[in-house]
Amino acid sequence: MAVSRNRVSRYLTDSRPHSEPVLHSLSNFYREEFIKCQRCLDAQREFYSERTISEVEKALTKVMAQLDRLCTKADADKVVSRLLQQFDTVTRLSAWSDPRQIH
């Protein structure tokens, strides 16, 4: 009986789906969104002070460095979405990519 129990427990532990690839994909998706924010900010450099650019770049770097950890949280979508919205107030990335804004 102990042998079959051992096989069953090995099967259960070996067959569990790994959530790491999902978290990695999620963090890569969000990382791409933050990179878009960086590019958008770079394109608008002339409209902002150097201090503002520096502070936003510093914040973007900090968020991207913590992205893998943030994506492990249960409320990752809400937290990261809120961060993207906050960066969007400066970069206005959504206005650039919103098809309704194209004339």
Asked if residue 30 lies in contact with residue 67, where contact means CB atoms within 8 angstroms, the answer is yes
Q: Which amino acid is residue 85, in one-letter code?
A: Q
- The pLDDT tens digits for 12-67 are 444 444 456 666 788 999 999 999 999 999 998 999 999 999 999 999 999 999 99
- DSSP secondary structure code for residue 18 in this structure: P
CA separation for the pair 6, 40 (Å, rounded): 56
Query: pTM here?
Result: 0.68
- Pick the closest to residue 59 from 21, 14, 17, 90 (CA basis): 90
Least confident window among 8-12, 39-43, 67-71: 8-12
- Interatomic CA distance for residues 81 and 21, integer angstroms: 20
Of residues 85 and 96, the one with the higher pLDDT is 85
